[in-house]
Amino acid sequence: MNTERLSKRLEAVVNYIPKGYRLADIGSDHAYLPCFAVKQGIVTSAIAGEVVEGPYQSAKGQVASEGLTAAISVRKGDGLAVINSGEVDVVTIAGMGGALIASILENGKNQLETVQRLILQPNISAISIRTWLRNNGWELVAEDIIEEDGKIYEILVAERGEVDKSYVHLEEGLLLGPFLLNQQPAPFLKKWDREMRNWQRILSQLEKAADSEENAIKIKELHAKIHLVKGVLKENENSERT
């Protein structure tokens, strides 16, 4: 991966950046994504944000080596603290856990006041992001799911809007994603088959453990999630047969 050719995961993120927007890429690492977006003429300018010194220096070096210092500002800071209100139109956050991404959004609410679109790629726990979006006036407008090197990644795209519009079946929508649930592409089915099997293994272990209130709650939650996902997968199998 480099600034000429992104990974499949980051390419999927870039595909949702509207042309002509100003970008902030949070947790930018080597700044490959903003460099690519600027070089391809997708965005007019970009901010590459990093909180860790090593990746921050890598991003600075990459931007300088590409001759893009006039178009890309590399900044060191925690999450959305690297941008000022009104500076950018679209924010990308990729390659982190969903709970961490939700925390970054929560802590940076003031910086999001004039942002028009969020493009978020969690490695795990997309439900944390969907819950935050629903509770904070952001509507999911698109979702994607891809497989790369044996790992499956979800991409969530949100804009300010009617927060309940895309969560027709709220419980299913938050966990599985309303758009993905409707489309059910192959990586989606593979992901949730894996998840269900993992939950079943955990459930088996919990049921053998000593009784406790905490275990009882976890067992109940796992049964509910397994039942939900099993129903979705079975429904897909039935539709394939007909």
Type of residue found at 13: V
Residue 238 is predicted with a pLDDT of: 63
Question: Total structural domains in the chain?
Answer: 2
Q: Which residues pair with 157 in a beta bridge?
A: 119, 142
Type of residue found at 196: M
Q: How far is CA 189 from CA 31, 165, 167, 194, 202, in A?
A: 32, 24, 19, 9, 20
Q: Which residues pair with 65 in a beta bridge?
A: none
Query: Could you tell me the two tokens for 157?
Result: 């795209």
Domain shared by 127 and 28, yes or no:
yes
Residue 167 is predicted with a pLDDT of: 60
Q: How far is CA 174 from CA 58, 86, 121, 183, 207, in A?
A: 36, 30, 15, 15, 27
Distance CA 7, CA 95 (A): 12
Residue 242 is predicted with a pLDDT of: 52
Domain shared by 156 and 205, yes or no:
no
Domain shared by 47 and 84, yes or no:
yes
Domain shared by 16 and 69, yes or no:
yes
Task: Find out whether 130 and 169 touch, Cβ atoms under 8 Å.
Answer: no
In a domain, 99, yes or no: yes
Residue 241 is predicted with a pLDDT of: 55
In a domain, 174, yes or no: no
- Per-residue pLDDT tens listing for the chain (242 residues): 677 889 999 999 999 999 999 999 999 999 999 999 999 999 999 999 999 999 999 999 999 999 999 999 999 999 999 999 899 999 999 999 999 999 999 999 999 999 999 999 999 999 999 999 999 999 999 999 999 999 999 999 999 876 655 565 678 889 999 999 999 999 999 999 999 999 999 999 998 888 889 899 999 999 999 998 988 887 776 666 55
| CATH number, residue 237 | 1.10.287
Cα angle vertex 18, ends 15, 24, to 5°?
90
Helix (H) or strand (E) holding 34: helix 32-39
Distance CA 79, CA 101 (A): 9
Domain shared by 204 and 91, yes or no:
no
Pick the closest to residue 105 from 75, 64, 61, 135 (CA basis).
Answer: 135
Type of residue found at 108: G
Pick the closest to residue 93 from 52, 149, 154, 152 (CA basis).
Answer: 154
| CATH number, residue 73 | 3.40.50.150
Question: Residue 224 sits in which domain range?
Answer: 187-241
Type of residue found at 174: L
Ordered DSSP codes for 135-161: HTTEEEEEEEEEEETTEEEEEEEEEES
Distance CA 189, CA 209 (A): 30
